[in-house]
Chain A
Amino acid sequence: MFVARSIAADHKDLIHDVSYDFHGRRMATCSSDQSVKVWDKSENGEWHCTASWKTHSGSVWRVTWAHPEFGQVLASCSFDRTAAVWEEIVGESNDKQRGQSHWIKRTTLVDSRTSVTDVKFAPKHMGLMLTTCSADGVVRIYEAPDVMNLSQWSLQHEISCKLSCSCISWNPSSSRAHPPMFAVGSDDSNIGYGGKVQIYEYNENTRKYAKAETLMTVTDAVHDIAFAPNLGRSFHVLAIATKDVRIFKLVPLRKESTSSGPTKLEVQIVAQFDNHNSQVWRVSWNITSTLLASSGDDGCVRLWKANYMDNWKCTGILKGDGSALTGSSGQPTAMSTVVGSSLQSQSAFNGMSAGRYFFPSLDSPRVGSRYGHLLPPPSLIDNCEAEPIQPQAQPQVQIYRRPSRALLPLPEAEGH
């Protein structure tokens, strides 16, 4: 793992959220400077800011993309008690030439009386639905009935969670066996108030969301919450950022046909890590949920992975080295050192790795050392112009194709 490039975000204040679009070709950033910026990735992998505009009259906490089936749509939420929906419009051709795109506000959702702490689109199979949660303890679910007219949003559900809400996550499962479900976390730090994670499930009959479960074991403030992609399993996996990182398994219990209440869930803890030493602020799964990332008060991002025995381990750490790049534009000056130092940890993403080289580097062979022979013979180099298929022309090929009793000559790799 290595820092491939550093992007000068050019926000005038703290960045609060960065969000990739569904295909990973665009990203949106939001900041305390009340603006949102949209970035597009070019063919060569460079990021270009194609739009930047003031979105709110307070810090923008979160920014998130709608599924591309609904077009290019962003939602943001802010300290200014509102959430907003933005749509990119295909602009004038000279806009495009300047590499700029145009975003217009489609709606402002003003129902909250306090800071809107999180905003998430519901899974796409439910249609274009937006969920917000706010410090006043209310989760609101809005729907755009006409996806071609994003200025109309109706407040479909208002769910009071009684505790100041900090985060929401939708269960992404689109299986018919699983009714729509979301989890909401509270950052209320009073342990006496009980469980800080509530699971709500949609009931077809009442057409309302009802609480299915409260995770009673999570009594400390919860800062982030994330359902894992379902992978076709019968159960759900939920990661929670609280005073530590926790992974829960939620197993729906068989429902009695007569019962109309929400599905009962059996809650099992799968893993719990306190490596961040203190509060954990963010948790998030990769696409296939083979890796979980978390960020905490230790200033690190940690990557967690289960091996094939379902043992969870920290497999990588991203750590600030104290050399914060400064400057507001252009390529950072420290780039070369960044790239240089990266080679040692190229494999952390793969889940298993060693920070050391597997084999000693080639440029310092120890004579007579155990690995001396692993050096490729110089003859490999001398004859690089020679036709590699002809053993006569290339003595070293004989090495591989010695007339041997058992080992058949290797097939011609060159012939492929």
Chain B
Amino acid sequence: MEEVDVEPAVTNIPAAGRGKHLGFAWGPGDILVYETHLKPKEAKGPGSPFIHEVQKDEDIYSPILRKLFNESHHIFVGLQTIRDDLPSKNKKPQFVSVSKNYRSVIRACMEELQQVAVSSQDSQKASQYENQVSILLAIELIWNLCEVLFIDAAPAGSLLLHLLDWVRLHKTDDDVKMRDVLQSESPAAHHSYWDVVVSYVLQGRLEETRQMLVKQANLQPAAKKMYRLMDTLLSKMPFYNPSGNQTLTEFDVKWRHWHEEIDRCLQDNSFASNQHLETICKILSGDVDTILEHKNLLSSWYHFLVTRLLYLHPTVKPTELHFYAQTSLSMFLETSVTEPLDSILLAAFEFDIHQVIKDCSIALSNWWFVAHLTDLLDHCNLLTSHNLHFGSNLREFLLLEYASGLFTHHSLWQLAVDYFDHCPEFGRVYLELQIERVPLDTERKALKVLRICEQRQMSEQVRSICKIMAMRALRNNRLGSALSWSIRAKDAAFATLISERFLQDYCTKGTFSDLDLIDNLGPAMLLSDRLTFLGKYREFHKLYGEKRFADAAKLLLSLMTAKIAPRSFWMTLLTDALPLLEQKEVIFSANQTYELMYCLEELTSSLNKTVPSPDQPMQDDEIEVTKVELLRLALARNLAMAIVKEGTVEA
């Protein structure tokens, strides 16, 4: 494939031109540009104080085109599920129907755009809409032709019928004219009457032609015979019927016979007295010069092509189209300058699919069309594989581009996920790179993003999102949320840190926040030692609250002996033991009391080793000393009671 050299598009930035530099920064959907001087040594004097946000094409921000993206997404996903193992014969009707679905979405979108364009008060907006409509019209025109030629791949005979439909579908101005004519008081006298009739003939709409001619014939009784002859000729023109049992050769013979009849009429000068009928007859005979005299009615070279085929080569084969298309183009256009649309259609007639796709990507401002069309053609096995340097193909390249564009949109990014899913080579990496950039504005949105990542086992992204959310919650002092996010992230270090915060909070306030969460940690508790302690410690409080003192006491002790509790927290735990020791009935057994005493001594001995810092206020120390003494007293008393009680029971 040849590379078409296209000049890069220039975007003007309201900044000083020469002599200054433009700095820039990539954003997710835009690029920030600012005036600066990048040569550090010469950097002097203030530049323009503005930063300009340069955006990509605004198509995705159009609410109407958004519908196009949404609905085509459904069709795309449906297409991907068409099973590969079906024989291709059975799949063809499905592909054709998918293609028609895409086109109907384009049409619906076009109609809506046209309506808003007309009702828009803002002329700039209106012309923008109209511009979009004209692009969609062209897209649909190209798509339709691709459907006929590539997807439906009609053989000789049916091919012309399809092309006729294609031309009729896209040539709607005749119908407007026709309505004007028919609605006038005397249609036959209307100044556009003959234009309409000839247009019908050019499009092969012979039934309508006959109906129109009847009106004229009624006004001219003298010429009735001539009109009747024309009517017979028109009614006799054979059309190939692909569903009938007529062979193409039979049709060809019949058609030639009819053609000879037309030629005979011309030689006889049957219509010489009526220039209009003469013209029609000449068109029917396939007289190219006569057809070309009606360029304004044909309005395009490809209409001319189809008319020419209709009256000269109705059994044209797909392989011959190329020749007729090119000659029609040069016969129709005086200038050799072709517009992008011309070359795209010509490439289609040449069956050069890659050229069609390529020219479209260059000419269109949006990847929507090329991505979807290429995907469909690829499903039809019509694309020879052009491998990328790293193994991807054209289909994937275009889908990735399209989906990446969607990802910059605040809601359309969700559609893009499915497109990435259906790109086997790079879809996943692209999704990973894009999805972690989706702003996590709310917990709800974070959960949505998370679900997408979890469904695809994107563990690193899952971890990162949870970590970001945990960090944010922690910064805002929402400890519960921070803890549940870090449990989700399986981030032990962070869970430890947050557990510490919880315990600190408890030490200062005497109550726990987020009880629901801590009470229902379950196995998640095992994520970190500190979290385990937090959970267990809270369990102690619950037992205590439920007056299950024996269980509470046992748990409390085990927190220290099993080294689950951090040493720094032991004093708090021992203080918690105090009310249990002070109960009338014995809760801690003698053995348990010994263990408590051991814990206290271990703690105080290690405390004594550290030299009290001079700036620590004496008061704190005194409180500590009193606390220890109180504990010792309570422990001793409890031990005494326990020994007495245990001795009594044993005896």
Is residue B46 within 8 Å, beta carbon to beta carbon, of the partner chain?
A: yes
A314: CB under 8 A from chain B? yes
> Which one of B17, B26, B27, B475 contacts A322 once the chains associate, using CB atoms below 8 Å?
B17
User: Chain A binding site: helix, strand, loop or mixed by DSSP?
Assistant: loop
Residues on A with beta carbons closer than 8 Å to the beta carbon of B19: 299
Asked whether B100 lies within 8 Å of A408 as measured between CB atoms, the reply is yes
Interface size class of B (residues with CB under 8 A): 35 or more
Which residues does chain B contribute within 8 Å of A360, judged by CB atoms?
Answer: 134
Judge if A61 is at the interface, Cβ distance under 8 Å.
yes
Chain B: minimal CB distance from A302 (Å): 7
Q: Across the interface, do B11 and A316 meet the contact criterion of CB distance under 8 Å?
A: yes
A282 to B21, CA, bound (A): 10
Q: Which residues in A have their C-beta under 8 angstroms from that of B166?
A: 407
With A9-B50, A363-B130, A416-B71 in contact, do A324 and B14 touch (Cβ < 8 Å)? yes
The yes or no answer to B13 lying at the interface (CB within 8 A) is: yes
- B residues 121-149 with Cβ under 8 Å of A? 124, 127-128, 130-131, 133-135, 137-138, 141
At the interface, yes or no: A223 with Cβ under 8 Å from chain B?
A: yes
Give Cα A24 to B407, complex, Å: 13
Docked-complex contact A318 and B8, CB < 8 angstroms = no
Cα of A4 to Cα of B50 in the assembled complex, Å: 13
Q: Smallest Cβ distance from A13 to chain B, in angstroms?
A: 5
Q: Does B58 contact A (CB under 8 A)?
A: yes
Q: Inside 8 A of B365's CB, which chain A residues have their CB?
A: 346-347, 350, 353, 358
Residue of A nearest to B46 (CB): A13
- CB of B388 within 8 A of CB of A362, answer no
> B111 contacts the other chain (Cβ, under 8 Å)?
yes
Assembled-state Cα–Cα distance A148/B475 (Å): 10
Bound complex: CA of A11 vs CA of B103, how far in Å?
Answer: 51
* Selected contact of A320 from candidates B22, B46, B169, CB within 8 Å: B22
- Chain A residues, CB < 8 A from B626: none
A355-B10, A400-B169, A407-B169 known; A376 and B25 CB under 8 Å?
Answer: no
Are the CB atoms of B404 and A362 closer together than 8 Å?
no
Q: Which of B14, B172, B430 is packed against the most chain A CB atoms within 10 Å? A: B14
Task: Choose the segment among A154-162, A199-207, A210-218, A289-297 that binds chain B (4+ C-beta atoms closer than 8 Å).
Answer: A289-297
* A338 part of interface (Cβ distance < 8 Å): yes
Within 8 A of A (CB), among B196-253: 239, 241-243
User: B44: shortest Cβ distance to chain A, in Å?
Assistant: 8
Decide if B12 is an interface residue (CB 8 Å cutoff): yes
Q: Would you call B363 and A354 a contact (CB within 8 A)?
A: yes
A29-B51 contact given A282-B38, A406-B154, CB 8 Å threshold = yes
CB <8 Å contact, A309 and B8: no
Tell me the chain B residues, 38-63 only, with Cβ under 8 Å from chain A: 38-40, 43-59
**Given known contacts A315-B8, A317-B10, is B300 in contact with A14 (CB within 8 Å)?**
no
Provide the A58-70 mask, 1 if CB < 8 A to any CB of B, else 0.
Answer: 0101000000111
> In the complex, which residue of chain B has the Cβ closest to the Cβ of A388?
B111
Contact present for A358 and B138 (CB under 8 Å):
yes
Query: A24 and B405: CB pair below 8 A?
Result: no
| Residue from B56, B152, B437 whose CB has the most chain A CB atoms within 10 Å | B56
Q: With both chains docked as a complex, state the minimum distance between the C-beta of B64 and any C-beta of chain A, in angstroms.
A: 13
In the bound complex, do residue A355 and residue B38 qualify as a contact, i.e. CB atoms below 8 Å apart?
A: no
B79 within 8 A of A: no
Please, which residues of chain B bring their CB within 8 A of the CB of A352?
6, 361-362
B14–A1 CB distance below 8 A: no
Is B185 on the interface with A (CB-CB < 8 A)?
no
Chain A nearest CB, measured from B489 CB (Å): 9
Q: Do B31 and A11 touch (CB < 8 A)? A: no
Which residue on chain A has the smallest CB distance to residue B178? Answer: A395
Q: Which of B26, B108, B162, B439 is within 8 Å of A25, CB to CB?
A: B439
* A-chain residues with CB within 8 Å of residue B92 when the two chains form the complex: none
Q: List 15 A-B contacts (CB under 8 A).
A: A3-B14, A5-B52, A11-B49, A20-B26, A22-B436, A23-B437, A32-B44, A286-B26, A308-B386, A317-B11, A318-B11, A373-B171, A381-B115, A395-B179, A404-B165
Q: Which 5 A-B pairs have CB atoms at the shortest separation, nearest pair first? A: A413-B108, A281-B38, A347-B365, A348-B9, A368-B296
Q: With A232-B429, A295-B38, A315-B9 given, can you name 16 additional A-B contacts, CB distance below 8 Å?
A: A15-B51, A18-B51, A20-B28, A20-B32, A288-B404, A290-B401, A302-B8, A342-B11, A350-B57, A358-B138, A359-B341, A361-B134, A374-B134, A374-B141, A399-B175, A413-B107
